[in-house]
Structure 1
Amino acid sequence: MSIDNPCLTCGACCAYFRVSFFWGECASSGGAVPDSATVQVSPFHVAMLGTEAKPARCVGLMGDVGCGVRCTLYEQRSSTCREFEASWVDGQHNAHCDTARAAHGLPPLMPPLEPQLSPDRVA
């Protein structure tokens, strides 16, 4: 993860959403997610401990939301976490990112500015 990644100063998604996924991703089933970091939420799904009820805060989240955070389970995180992208990564807006940020009083991420053409160049 790049040090310019907005997730390193956010963490709102880890402290807002239920992070649920198929139990087969747990270590006891051959996956990577530590069993001790999950709680069963249905016959076939688990959630990251701390995200199963509101207010949510994933057991793997370290730091203060909106200031400086990191995931202590980053290499062992679930597919749900791996697939969640901050807004404007690869130019795509993620309304769920905005929702989590708003719940913590953080403004939405803004798209990167378009490169400016110099006056002597024609578009």
Structure 2
Amino acid sequence: MSACQTCGACCAAYRVQFSVYELDDAGGTVPASMTEPVNGATCRMRGTGEVPIRCVALTGMVGVSVGCTVYSQRPAPCRELTEGSYACDKARARHGLAALGDDLPL
């Protein structure tokens, strides 16, 4: 099991903004119903534009057991954030979780 499935910190730490061209109603895959507009070219996942941050697609409890209801349709910022990266470890620290960067297998 991936550490991501017990973490979810990134989904409750970062604003997830991306191009409107990723939306399903524009030919992409991200469900438009789960987003809100930022400007004419950019949108974001609902729940990531206010504090406390929690993406609308996140299920479960951060640091215990989580899931993403749109995992196969998630936007580019979510696909690009990798387990154990600096951004991952920073999000984990915001939620009082230990860093993964040094613990990942080579």
TM-score (norm. length: structure 1): 0.80
Q: Specify the code of the residue in structure 2 equivalent to 1:38.
A: T
Bigger mean CA deviation after superposition, 78-87 or 10-19: 78-87
Higher helix share: 2
Match of 1:63 in 2: 60
Write the mapping of 1:68-87 to structure 2, written as runs, cut at 5 A: 68-87=65-84
Q: Specify the code of the residue in structure 2 equivalent to 1:12.
A: A
CA RMSD of aligned residues (A): 1.3
SS in 2 for 1:24: helix
SS in 1 for 2:78: helix
Q: Whose Rg is larger?
A: 1
Kindly report structure 1 stretches of 4+ aligned residues shifted beyond 3 Å: none
Match of 1:24 in 2: 21
More RCO (CA 8 Å, sep 6+): 2
Gaps in structure 2 of 5+ consecutive residues: none
1:42 Cα deviation after fit: 2.0
Gaps in structure 1 of 5+ consecutive residues: 88-93, 115-123
Match of 2:87 in 1: 96
